[in-house]
Structure 1
Amino acid sequence: MRSEQKQTKKKRKWLRITGIVLLLLVVGAGAYGFTVYKSLTDAVSTMHQPIKREKSEKRIEEVTFAQQEPFSVLMLGVDERDGDKGRSDTMIVLTVNPNENSVKMLSIPRDTRTEIIGKGFDDKINHAYAFGGPEMSMDTVENFLDIPIDYYMQINMEGFEDIVDAVGGITINNDMDLKVEGAHFPKGEITLNGAKALTYSRIRYEDPRGDFGRQLRQRQIIQGVISEGASLSSLTRFGGIFEALGDNIKTNLTFNEMVDIQKHYKNAGKNIQQLTVTGNGQTIGKVWYLIVSDEEKLRLQNELKGHLAI
């Protein structure tokens, strides 16, 4: 009897800490057992990539997850090419507040003109990754939003379709009829496999909203993956999910930190609020940029600071 109780306790423990939480850090999925645990730890070991970065002046003391302190993550969607570091065509800032049980998700347009910290000149914000990897991206976004960026999560966009397929596909609500590359995405509820999700996430010129429409679709796909991953009741897919995550995600979060996040922040993932950067297009030196006004930056900074309780 005691052995059965111990096994049940172990199952409940892993029910709390496994699943697609590795993608957005706040959502758990049901799984247990040694095989799942081994797959999970192997994936995290593969994903973990520490960074060399000076301590941020905007974060005096490190976040303590056990005390349920709000924190932030910069998600970088990178198209990795042979012989080229690539650029972060997708930049999403997540702020997580367990006291408000909410996550704010801000997409930063890749053409946003701002100072590239470490280079000393203004350029498109997504160029920070090409110049200095996740460290320079974190520093530049931190300066742009005037908030601490505590962690990063880099996703290989080419491999993102593997993640979508690993959860069995996703269902999203498409707000615009779109056709691209021989694919048709009708308005309304649609179900996407990995390849179609990748195509859908990259649509830009066929949408009159341009990059803003593309950002919306990327957020839809991320939320779709979270929803599908969190709803899985079978163990059969978790090996594939962990393998896909391990192959395509890099982060400076450790396994223990992920466990703490799931333990203390899991309810926050049930309320994801999407924010948008607005600005005006302007050509400078024959290059098109999105110019974000000081008033707009202040609006975003105040909202995120409030959510981070700073």
Structure 2
Amino acid sequence: MRKEKYRKKRQRAFWRVLGIVFVLMAAGGGAYAYSVYHSMTTAVKTMHQPIQRVKSEKRVEEIVLEQQDPFSVLLLGVDERAGDKGRSDTIIVLGVNPNTNSIKMVSIPRDTRTELIGRGTEDKINHAYAYGGIEMSINTVENFLDIPIDYYIQINMEGFKDIVDSVGGVTVANDYAFSYEGHDFPKSEITLNGDEALAFSRMRYEDPRGDFGRQLRQRMIIQGIIKNGASLSSLGNYKQIFAALGKNVKTNLTFDEMVDIQSNYKDAAGNVTQIDMTGTGEKIDETFYLLVDKKEQVRVQNELKEQLGLMTPKAGV
């Protein structure tokens, strides 16, 4: 009896993931639903890349998604090149809390100087991926932010434009007019296709805010993808969406975990807050680094800990 109830609960959650309950009510909807299911499970199977790492000492109790425990996600945008493992030039951490129906998002500047966990040296944080892949990246970010990283999502930035196109483009409120890679971006609300979104998220040298401006634009694009990807209007492009995800995304999230997240955390996606992190640029041994002072580091750590419902944040220094 309990097994049957659990099975039915899973089925209900799955249809919510797909957003096609209304389709199933129509004649002939079963074949369509099967096609969506097949496309989705194929993409998830391709995307799923479990990692071998010791359980984080910063996560005292295991999270239970069905009980709506807050969790964190490390989002890495990696520029992969032939013969080169690449570097994670986009590093974003999401804290998802269904109790407050909110997501807090912080970008870690790629040039941030910190200890690379597993290598024993201080270097730019984006070098962790080049030296030790996703495992070293997770361990290094955990150490820097003093929070557990529960899941990761790695995006191939060259294929980023395919993901944007698959959800029908994204609309952003651009606060700085500029031109880059043959595209003009006026200061206004603009809708971007995949090529435009990739250029919009990469420019940093013309922006007086430097990499901080680029991080802001990257977060805008991600918010747009989340919003449009969750919309029923994108459902007609499901094959394109799943193909783009399967080709360009890797994650340790399983299909069941994705179902649980959509079922239990979907309201949080409508309330995304950005956390700014500042630092000072400095050359050390002829290499440029961004130095984040301890007070600023602790401020960001505390905000994320509160968002994740962890232990009482330590006082700033």
CA distance in 2, matches of 1:88, 1:10: 35
| SS of equivalent to 1:106 | strand
1:179-258 alignment, distance < 5 Å = 179-233=179-233, 235-258=235-258
Look up the match of 1:25: none
CA distance in 2, matches of 1:171, 1:119: 41
Aligned residues: 294
Look up the match of 2:145: 145
* 1:98 and 2:98 are equivalent in the alignment: yes
Higher RCO (CA-CA < 8 Å; seq separation 6+): 1
Residue by residue over 1:241-266, the C-alpha shift from the partner in whole angstroms, topping out at 9 and shown as x without a partner, is 01101100000010001111111111
User: Against the structure 1 CA distance between its residues 115 and 148, is the aligned structure 2 distance closer, same or farther, given a 3 Å change threshold?
Assistant: same
CA distance in 2, matches of 1:196, 1:29: 33
| SS of equivalent to 2:128 | helix
User: Against the structure 1 CA distance between its residues 249 and 278, is the aligned structure 2 distance closer, same or farther, given a 3 Å change threshold?
Assistant: same
Look up the match of 2:48: 48
List runs of 5+ in structure 1 lacking aligned partners: 1-8, 20-27
Partner amino acid, structure 1, of 2:207: D
TM-score (norm 1): 0.91
Residue by residue over 1:100-135, the C-alpha shift from the partner in whole angstroms, topping out at 9 and shown as x without a partner, is 110000000000000000011100000000011111
Deviation at 1:167, TM superposition (A): 1.1
Among all aligned residue pairs of Structure 1 and Structure 2, give the percentage whose two residues are the same amino acid.
65
CA distance in 2, matches of 1:159, 1:82: 14
Look up the match of 2:313: none
Are the counterparts in 1 of residues 161 and 197 from structure 2 also a CA contact under 8 Å?
yes
User: Against the structure 1 CA distance between its residues 117 and 224, is the aligned structure 2 distance closer, same or farther, given a 3 Å change threshold?
Assistant: same
User: Against the structure 1 CA distance between its residues 131 and 31, is the aligned structure 2 distance closer, same or farther, given a 3 Å change threshold?
Assistant: farther
Look up the match of 1:5: none
User: Against the structure 1 CA distance between its residues 17 and 287, is the aligned structure 2 distance closer, same or farther, given a 3 Å change threshold?
Assistant: same
Are the counterparts in 2 of residues 203 and 214 from structure 1 also a CA contact under 8 Å?
yes
CA distance in 2, matches of 1:15, 1:172: 29
Partner amino acid, structure 2, of 1:210: G
User: 4+ residue stretches of structure 1 with deviation over 6 A?
Assistant: 9-12, 28-32
User: Against the structure 1 CA distance between its residues 244 and 29, is the aligned structure 2 distance closer, same or farther, given a 3 Å change threshold?
Assistant: farther
User: Against the structure 1 CA distance between its residues 149 and 13, is the aligned structure 2 distance closer, same or farther, given a 3 Å change threshold?
Assistant: closer
Please give the root-mean-square deviation of Cα atoms over the aligned residues, in Å: 1.9
List runs of 5+ in structure 2 lacking aligned partners: 1-8, 25-32, 311-317
TM-score (norm 2): 0.89
Deviation at 1:172, TM superposition (A): 1.0
Partner amino acid, structure 2, of 1:120: G
User: Against the structure 1 CA distance between its residues 11 and 119, is the aligned structure 2 distance closer, same or farther, given a 3 Å change threshold?
Assistant: closer
